[in-house]
Amino acid sequence: MAISRRTALRASIVSGTGLLFGGAATAAAAAPLAPVHAPDADAALKLLKQGNRRWRRFEQKHPNEGARRRGQVLSGQNPFALVLGCADSRVPAELVFDRGLGDLFSIRSAGQVLDESVLGSISYGVEHLHIPLIVVLGHAGCGAVTAAVETHRGGELPEGHIGYLVEQILPVVDATPDDGEDFVDACVSANALHIAETLRFDPDLVGHVDSGELRVVAARYELDSSEVRFLD
């Protein structure tokens, strides 16, 4: 009987997985995933601040990147914080907070825009991974926020998917006082604060927030100083 190309490919992947990771899986069983690093939001926030301090000072420790950690995370994940950041390539959460594998549940979208996919990912992190802290991380010079400011000031709304992003940010821009040169900067902070507040009252999350199991904070990353500034 002839075997389809798809069936053969699936069989080779399964076989290859066993060959490649069989030893690692055994190591993972011997070294289960480490306990929660941060049992509550305060401890999680402290770890993030410490990591960003190391990053700013070029004193990174690159934790949880070695062979043992790679074996541990085969058996599951236990991140201590969720970071909703921008898709901008200059602001990777694991680098700016000096963390490693399994530490952060990272979700990224341009301008931290919330849609069903992003919200579903956040809900999963909170409900199934029991993450105690969400950080909404904006950043200086955000292109998505800048595009919304340009539209606010009379420019044409971009077409297609980019237009969707701008439309989601535009209400925040419209509600922010236009102070001239620093307007984009002000809108970056306002956008992060608005998204954090939206998440606090999201139907999937509000119960966790009200019970004290979950904390949601807004922050921004400064490109020039490499500092994460927490806004609330």
- Gyration radius of the chain over CA positions: 21
Indicate the helix (H) or strand (E) that contains 162.
Answer: helix 160-174
187 annotated as belonging to a binding site for a ligand: no
Quote the CA–CA distance of 178 and 199 in Å, as a whole number.
25
Which residues are CB-neighbours of 216 under 8 A, at least 6 positions away?
133, 134, 136, 196, 199, 200, 205, 209
The domain made up of 31-230 has a fold known as Beta-carbonic Anhydrase; Chain A (3.40.1050)
Which residues are CB-neighbours of 9 under 8 A, at least 6 positions away?
none
- Model confidence band, residue 37 (pLDDT cutoffs 50, 70, 90): low
Q: Where does residue 142 rank: exposed (0-12), middle (13-18), buried (19+ CB within 10 A)?
A: buried
The residue extents of the domains of the chain are 31-230
Lowest mean pLDDT among 33-47, 111-125, 146-160: 33-47
pTM here is 0.84
Quote the CA–CA distance of 220 and 232 in Å, as a whole number.
11
Q: How far is CA 70 from CA 23, 110, 177, in A?
A: 12, 29, 48
- Please choose, from the candidates 52, 67, 78, the residue with its C-alpha nearest in 3D space to the C-alpha of residue 222: 52
86 annotated as belonging to a binding site for a ligand: yes
Q: Tell me the two tokens of residue 105.
A: 């549940």
Report the Cα 214 to chain-centroid distance in Å. 15
Q: Over the stretch 135-192, which tens digit does the pLDDT of each residue have?
A: 999 999 999 999 999 999 999 999 999 999 999 999 999 999 998 779 999 999 999 9
Lowest mean pLDDT among 26-35, 73-82, 191-200, 204-213: 26-35
142 annotated as belonging to a binding site for a ligand: yes
88 annotated as belonging to a binding site for a ligand: yes
Which residues are CB-neighbours of 6 under 8 A, at least 6 positions away?
none
